[in-house]
């Protein structure tokens, strides 16, 4: 070996050793970097799934929370981080709907930024609800844009869905009807308001014999002078209204709202119960056994298609109310039990829409509004408790459970806010009566004169 090649080898080895050392250092460094990268990917993944699961309109992941309810969806909108990668959104097929909601999100954010003076978001939301309800109590609904900010998102969502194929656009309010005109419009809707069993497909199933012989009007005749309607709102807690409610000839309650344990505030008497089809169709309400549904007149409802196709309704009700109805009628034929005609619900909906400037949710009116109309058809005077919440208003949903959801009061699925605005226009009750006492009075339809 020559001297040069030896030197060459020597330098080669030295070079190799130093490069190996630096490689090792690099690998060590790389190790840390890899670990850090890995950690970041994990964190990012967790964050992404959280964001994804709180995103409205995107199909739920198995571990995501259910965003079906609009209030939840609105919460999700409000809490959603702003750094969502756009490309991700664009993969979503329901883009149009997503961007509509995005616009709403921006408006809500802008509004919140403007008012958030050291308040938490839930405080702001509560204040916002209070402001809407204050205006509702005063009957000051001139600025309907304010209402729509709260409900616009859900209306958009439900309008796009239009589950019941409602044809609404031609029916918005153009000029404001007087109280008397409104009352007459509603009175005219009373007529065929429960199923008689003679309609197809029910007649073919022998329902003419199943449905009670006497109609609801025949059942009560003109006996009922004063009637009370008790909303299930939590604002009735601490009202001490129980005795006053019981002093009425008849009392109407809703769904699974109990009296036991709440007598002081809601009274003890129940004459009629308006129940939605969930009560009949969902096992958790134990309809066949529960004492709540015994010894009272029952009026059940389920939204059929807007066009009145009873065949389709019978095939595809929201909840299967028909089996439970047939079973109960066979087991307890003496109990007055009726199903509200879907066309009656939609006729009421038409009146609400026809007297509102905006497009309302294309979903049926709430049990609350329907029950008020039922009592107005049967009684001379109707006192409605906590339909428009008093100053005891709270974000709690019901007086009998701990669910907190402002949609119960302002509406999500049902056009509740518009129903409340309409009922406010029907009453002469003072702001004090509504705000302090939690009561508003309405005349029975038979006390008002209308041109036919």
Residues contributing to the site for ligand NCC (CB under 6 A): 231-234, 254-256, 276, 278-279, 366-368, 387, 397-398, 408-409, 413-414
Q: Cβ closer to ligand NCC: 34 or 60?
A: 60
Q: Cβ closer to ligand NCC: 105 or 253?
A: 253
Q: Which tokens sit at 82?
A: 């702003």
Residue 217: CB atoms within 10 Å: 14
Q: Is the previous residue joined to 201 through a cis bond, with omega within 30 degrees of 0?
A: yes
CB 365 within 8 A of CB 435: no
CA–CA dist 415, 417 (Å, integer): 6
Residue 274, SS3? strand
Q: How far is the CB of 208 from ligand NCC (least distance, A)?
A: 28
Residue closest to ligand NCC, measured at CB: 368
Q: How far is the CB of 116 from ligand NCC (least distance, A)?
A: 25
Q: How far is the CB of 49 from ligand NCC (least distance, A)?
A: 26
Q: How far is the CB of 138 from ligand NCC (least distance, A)?
A: 18
Q: How far is the CB of 72 from ligand NCC (least distance, A)?
A: 11
Q: How far is the CB of 302 from ligand NCC (least distance, A)?
A: 10
Q: Which tokens sit at 20?
A: 């190996």
CB 150 within 8 A of CB 417: yes
CA–CA dist 426, 137 (Å, integer): 12
Q: Cβ closer to ligand NCC: 278 or 441?
A: 278
Q: How far is the CB of 253 from ligand NCC (least distance, A)?
A: 9
CA–CA dist 286, 255 (Å, integer): 12
Q: Cβ closer to ligand NCC: 54 or 231?
A: 231
Which letter does DSSP use for residue 7 in this model?
H
Q: Cβ closer to ligand NCC: 207 or 387?
A: 387
Q: Cβ closer to ligand NCC: 105 or 365?
A: 365
Q: Cβ closer to ligand NCC: 51 or 257?
A: 257
Which letter does DSSP use for residue 340 in this model?
B
Q: How far is the CB of 254 from ligand NCC (least distance, A)?
A: 4
DSSP line for 94-135: -HHHHHHHHHHHHHHHHHHHHH-SS--HHHHHHHHHHHHHHH
DSSP line for 365-405: PPHHHHHHHHHHHH-SEEEEESSS--TT--SB-BTTS--B-
Q: Cβ closer to ligand NCC: 73 or 398?
A: 398
CB 235 within 8 A of CB 211: no
């Amino acid at each position: 070996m020559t001297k040069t090649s030896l030197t060459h080898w020597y330098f080669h080895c030295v070079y190799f050793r130093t490069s190996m050392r630096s490689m090792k250092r690099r690998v060590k460094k790389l190790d840390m970097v890899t670990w850090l990268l890995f950690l970041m990917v994990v964190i990012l993944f967790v964050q992404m799934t959280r964001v994804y699961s709180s995103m409205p309109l995107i199909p739920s992941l198995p571990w995501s929370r259910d965003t079906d309810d609009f209030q939840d969806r609105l919460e999700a909108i409000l809490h959603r981080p702003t750094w969502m990668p756009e490309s991700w959104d664009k993969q979503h097929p329901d883009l149009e709907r997503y961007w509509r909601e995005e616009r709403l999100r921006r408006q809500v954010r802008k509004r919140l930024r403007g008012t958030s003076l050291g308040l938490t978001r839930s405080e702001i939301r509560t204040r916002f609800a209070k402001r809407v309800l204050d205006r509702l109590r005063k009957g000051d609904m001139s600025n309907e844009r304010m209402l729509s900010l709260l409900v616009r998102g859900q209306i958009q969502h439900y309008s796009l869905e239009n589950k019941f194929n409602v044809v609404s656009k031609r029916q918005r309010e153009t000029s404001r009807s007087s109280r008397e005109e409104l009352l007459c419009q509603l009175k005219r809707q009373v007529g065929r308001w429960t199923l008689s069993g003679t309609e197809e497909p029910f007649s073919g199933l022998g329902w003419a014999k199943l449905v009670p012989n006497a109609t609801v009007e025949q059942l009560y005749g003109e006996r009922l002078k004063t009637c009370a309607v008790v909303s299930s709102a939590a604002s009735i807690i601490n009202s001490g209204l129980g005795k006053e409610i019981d002093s009425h000839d008849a009392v109407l309650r809703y769904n699974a709202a109990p009296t036991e344990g709440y007598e002081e505030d809601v009274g003890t008497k129940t004459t009629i119960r308006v129940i939605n089809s969930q009560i009949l169709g969902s096992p958790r309400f134990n309809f066949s056994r529960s004492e709540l549904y015994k010894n009272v007149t029952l009026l059940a409802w389920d939204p059929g298609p807007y066009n009145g196709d009873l065949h389709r309704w019978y095939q595809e009700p929201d909840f299967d109310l028909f089996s439970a109805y047939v079973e109960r009628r066979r087991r307890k034929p003496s109990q007055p039990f009726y199903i509200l005609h879907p066309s009656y619900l939609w006729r009421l909906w038409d009146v609400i829409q026809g007297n509102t400037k905006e497009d309302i949710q294309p979903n049926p009116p709430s049990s609350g509004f329907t029950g008020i109309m039922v009592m107005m058809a049967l009684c001379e005077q109707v006192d409605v408790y906590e339909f428009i919440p008093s100053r005891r208003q709270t974000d709690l949903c019901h007086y009998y459970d701990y669910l907190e959801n402002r949609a119960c009061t302002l509406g999500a699925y049902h056009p509740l806010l518009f129903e409340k605005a309409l009922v406010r226009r029907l009453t002469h009750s003072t702001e004090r009566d509504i705000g302090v006492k939690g009561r508003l009075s309405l005349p029975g339809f038979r006390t008002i004169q209308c041109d036919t």
